Chains A and B, each alone.
Chain A
């Protein structure tokens, strides 16, 4: 249901470092079904951006098509948004990033949007290590077209109409690690405590940060027998770790502590403080991360939390060695070689 939000602001709402309240990071009221997991993810994004004190206009939200892709309307109302076409958010985000490297890009997609029609673009944006946060709101079905199985639906999962999915599921998180994503995490829309710090760390990561968030569709895929229902996910969830995100604290040296607790330094000196729960898992080792996922899958568990991070790899701007000023800020004097050069070019063609 859509209606106007009250404009009234409580004078004593807490403010962040920039002087903004949480309200300033909200969007218009959601038109998704009550209880839809996607709304909880939107709320987590709002919370993360508020806590990180990002300037709302320095964020751009880009999405494809689907219920999930509609959510950018419902968070960060002071940011530009682009609801593009089905499965093509990655290319639009790539172009946007090329134009202005100084902004934070949030890509929002669904499992249909990324794992089916948009698989090609999903794969390639990972390869290029585009500096963005890429969130898949994964409900194992096509919500907006009324509940058909998607390619992330588990084999054997039962739909609301009672049919059993006969096909293998695409595991987007393993795939992302495999393809060279430099930050991969998995979470659950119902676990805000885990989701918010993950989003914060993802935002701070310079490179491609992928969040596969299980996000139940209450209307079409929340029935008994579905492996993407609230109940099923709650029962089968297993976290790699609990974590906290610590913005830039240069005085703390990044180092592994003995035992279960460790810290991972991101490129700008901020830290991910991890309290490991999973054994034999090292988030800076690809093989170990993939192993942990495979083992969880074999046990029919959904492994959540940070899975893999690498802050060494160059992002696409680094690879292309683009100018330090955003390209959209360059003018004739930077870009146009002028008539004199053209005269010698002409001479070369005579």
Chain B
């Protein structure tokens, strides 16, 4: 096999629910800490325990972080998927397996190299607690890989220390397992492999984080106070991240009171209804869902569009149609979202390409929703949302004010003549609104999904209907001037 520095793919084949995730992440994060671009992907079934999962790590000094064909090194600790895993190794590549049991003859290929490590046996000898044996077996293979791929052992140790801070016993056990792996590989294999790592300084100040965390955090920074959601892969961790950071920053230290309200709704219809109710009443609110949820939210999205109520939806897309492949990535909701609901609706979509943009756009969507008084959808997908990506660090300009849009206060209402909720006063298609409870006698209006005139009164008059629809189009044009400019990424070598 050709020598390759910082350019290869390692795939781990594990069993769902056996604690392999943190060992695999330790592997990827160490490479990140070595300053080398890396992209890990979880490939998992719609299942909680028992079915095969894979974790694929692509290392690319050039920063190519999409998936490519050809596995250079397979680490297979799952007998169930072994036949498939052996087949998937690139010719000339390597296959690491648990040699506690002999490898069945049918898995032997003559064009790949085998690296047998008796992980289970080593773990059983070294540790007595059955759960620990299972978990530390995973660290043993990380140790073996460290030797074979030239990983910086000190970086692994620092990470283990961070992960188990304050739990000395666990740190010791992990260090021991790591050393067992390192020693075994040193004794039994030629190292390093032809493809391996060399320390670089290509990461600089970047971070390694998933998009859902970034969205949840962006909502905290963007001032969302109400979040309603219904569990669905791959969006659930947006709600979890929001809650995590709310608990960190939004609990009053004196009283323990929460400056947020999170409701796990009975379904996505209710989740969107809650967002609309809260936004109508002047709170910043959002929900997160995936395709099936967006399908259910259609009627409400049309209401928010036509009644001009802000709403923010993070759509973490997954493979459709229908239930489709719930744990696989796809971007099949774009049209559904762009024209959600019946009638002439058009929605503003923001399409982030990195965790940094997930953070920025979620915060921005809360501004845009209030500025434009309409739903804003942040369209991410399972890959961006649930996998760790190298990203520019998050940044917040202190002193940045939320754009609360055109909202009249009690004093302002004193000075306007007749308040017209749907009057285009400024010529940008965006009317003024009032929050309930603002003024004892002025500014109250009736919000409805039916056709109405400039003063929010029900009407079926054709001319009034047309004026309203035309104004909504004008608002659409205004929206174009407010959304971030599209960025086109292109391979430099393809340019003329």
Contacts and interface: CB of A to CB of B under 8 A. Distances in A.
Interface residues of B, number: 75
7 contacts: A80-B445, A85-B300, A99-B282, A337-B220, A342-B394, A349-B209, A350-B203
Contacts of B261: 98, 317, 320, 322, 327
Interface string B271-292: 1111111111111010000000
A335 B225 contact: yes
A121 B440 contact: no
Given A320-B261, A322-B257, A322-B258, A337 B221 contact: yes
The 5 A-B pairs of least Cβ separation, nearest first, read: A95-B277, A91-B273, A99-B283, A80-B436, A328-B282
B263 A82 contact: no
A12 interface: no
Contact of B439 (A57, A317, A321): A57
Contacts of A56: 440, 444
Nearest to A65: B449
A155 interface: no
A100 B208 contact: no
B216 to A, nearest CB: 11
Given A80-B436, A327-B226, A100 B257 contact: no
B445 A93 contact: no
Interface of A: 55-58, 60, 62, 72-73, 77-85, 88, 90-100, 102-103, 120-121, 123-124, 128, 317, 320-324, 327-328, 330-332, 334-339, 341-342, 345-346, 349-350
A145 to B, nearest CB: 15
A85 B277 CA distance: 12
B259 A92 contact: no
Interface in B374-399: 393-398
A99 B221 contact: no
Contacts of B283: 95, 98-100, 327-328
Contact of A83 (B278, B437, B447): B447
A100 B436 CA distance: 9
B440 A345 contact: no
Contact of A85 (B259, B275, B303, B446): B303
B269 interface: yes
A171 to B, nearest CB: 21
Contacts of A345: 217, 394
Given A103-B436, A346-B207, A346-B394, A124 B401 contact: no
Given A331-B402, A349-B207, A336 B447 contact: no
B448 interface: yes
B256 A321 contact: yes
B437 A99 contact: no
Contacts of A102: 437
A128 B274 CA distance: 13
A276 B298 CA distance: 49
Given A81-B447, A94-B270, 12 more contacts: A57-B438, A57-B444, A80-B447, A85-B303, A95-B285, A99-B225, A99-B277, A99-B285, A322-B260, A323-B257, A332-B401, A350-B33
A327 B269 contact: no
B165 interface: no
Contacts of B271: 91
Contacts of A72: 446
A220 to B, nearest CB: 22
A342 B221 contact: yes
Interface of A is mostly: helix
Nearest to A324: B257
B249 interface: yes
* Residue of A88, A335, A342 contacting most chain B CB atoms (<10 Å): A335
Contacts of B450: 83
Interface in B87-137: none
A128 B273 CA distance: 15
A95 B228 contact: yes
Given A79-B436, A83-B449, A342-B221, A98 B226 contact: yes
B440 A95 contact: no
B436 A57 contact: yes
Contacts of A128: 263
A332 B223 contact: yes
Contacts of A327: 225-226, 259-261, 278, 283
Nearest to B269: A88
Given A57-B444, A85-B449, A100 B273 contact: no
A98 to B, nearest CB: 4
Nearest to B278: A95
A234 B400 CA distance: 63
Given A95-B281, A98-B274, A330 B217 contact: no
B260 A55 contact: no
A94 to B, nearest CB: 5
B394 A62 contact: no
B299 interface: yes
Given A322-B258, A332-B223, A350-B208, A82 B277 contact: yes
Contacts of B33: 350
A56 B439 CA distance: 9
Contacts of A93: 277
Nearest to B394: A342
B259 to A, nearest CB: 5
A79 B435 CA distance: 10
B402 A92 contact: no
A79 B401 contact: no
A181 B256 CA distance: 27
Contact of B258 (A79, A95, A96, A323): A323
Contacts of B198: none
B255 interface: yes
B265 A91 contact: yes
Contacts of A331: 223, 402
Contacts of A338: 396, 398
B249 A341 contact: yes
B441 interface: yes
Nearest to A18: B440
B274 A92 contact: yes
